[in-house]
Chains A and B, each alone.
Chain A
């Protein structure tokens, strides 16, 4: 990468199925606690999957009602996580024209769309909330965050299915490296636990149907895995040029050292079977960060617990980085947050570097064949001292591969 501006992480925020903020989510992961639970909604008999990673803290319990009613649930999560991250960063004073936002959602306000359509058919157009459009648009979260913090350098919303959150962070890093901004609030959000989503993913045969054991359903790398588990929430980070952060004496969690992208051009939903695209993204991320595979001590894997994806990713990790990093999939506890996944998993990767510990992948009773990387199972494992680096992988339907590299301070 030509630009030598260093980008650091100065704030983190998350609301997830295992905790209402970054700290409680992180401690749940270190304890190996699953956030996946049986659903009790009245529609549950109409779908074959009867559990999900529901947000540990309902956003309706956090936001004032007048605010909540004009936000889609995905926007609620995003705003809650962004406020936490912004507060955590010390609410930096920054020229508004040097402050940006890069936050997306894989699906957008789908619950708003579907509920609004029901209301429209039942009661007519003039009973729709005038906020229906800003609630359903996938860039709504980014827009609300920009208003909240007064960001005028540009507000962006990458949409790349389950790679969205990581792509948001990668985009934010690039905004700072390119000199367009000094501070960027970046990440991803999703709120898609609606019967139509569950039914549609089930129609792809992509979801686990382990209805008798919800907390054991998300089991990346395990031989018995049978699909992903839907989760919801948001993960947001505050990215800042190192110069700006140092000048104001900010606490620095990690360096956001670089990102790599590729696309499979193979199938609209299935992973490319050799993992070539994943390797390309990871190699490019290393190159962008000026690192080699030997520097990487930890990978927060995309691994969603689908039969097709997890092993291929481990092979790509082995081929592009090596077998030495401690690999984990926190989706074993949070479920898969789709567009929010890269957001929360970047937060977890940053915390792993910062606290030098990797949370376990739970439910790996029987490691699948062909996995040669070091999967952290059952108990957290310590990372070494000194200068260390880690990767967050995120891939999405459509063939998107994004790898983001963070390094210790």
Chain B
């Protein structure tokens, strides 16, 4: 069953908070992980692996570098 954008956003917020300490409320669709949330590439790998576990999708490394905003990840998971 497909998750809604809100459900994915809530899950991502939790993951980002767990890994970086950034409040989940700051994790909004338009935010860029690097430019807005100041998340480094190693932490992005952790977030991607956690998201794969949480949402049951594979995020290949060559795709990860294209996922720049929170919305990009939501779209990827929904696709």
Produce 1/0 per residue, A69-97, CB < 8 A to B. 11000000000000000000000000000
Choice from A64, A65, A129 contacting B46 with Cβ under 8 Å: A129
Interface pair A69/B19, CB less than 8 Å apart: yes
**B-contacting residues, A50-72, CB 8 Å:** 64-67, 69-70
Interface pair B45/A66, CB less than 8 Å apart: no
Interface check B56, CB cutoff 8 A:
no
Interface check B32, CB cutoff 8 A:
no
Chain A residues, CB < 8 A from B17: 66
Size class of the contact patch on chain A:
10 to 19
Interface size on B, residues (CB 8 A): 10
Chain B residues, CB < 8 A from A127: 49
Produce 1/0 per residue, A162-200, CB < 8 A to B. 000000000000000000000000000000000000000
Interface check A43, CB cutoff 8 A:
no
Interface pair A67/B42, CB less than 8 Å apart: no
**A-contacting residues, B22-53, CB 8 Å:** 42-43, 45-46, 49
Interface pair A66/B46, CB less than 8 Å apart: no
Interface pair A126/B18, CB less than 8 Å apart: no
Interface pair A126/B21, CB less than 8 Å apart: no
Interface pair A65/B42, CB less than 8 Å apart: no
Chain B residues, CB < 8 A from A67: 21
Given contacts A66-B20, A70-B42, 19 further A-B contacts (CB under 8 A): A64-B21, A65-B18, A65-B21, A66-B17, A66-B18, A66-B19, A66-B21, A67-B21, A69-B19, A70-B43, A126-B49, A127-B49, A129-B46, A130-B42, A130-B43, A130-B45, A130-B46, A131-B42, A131-B46
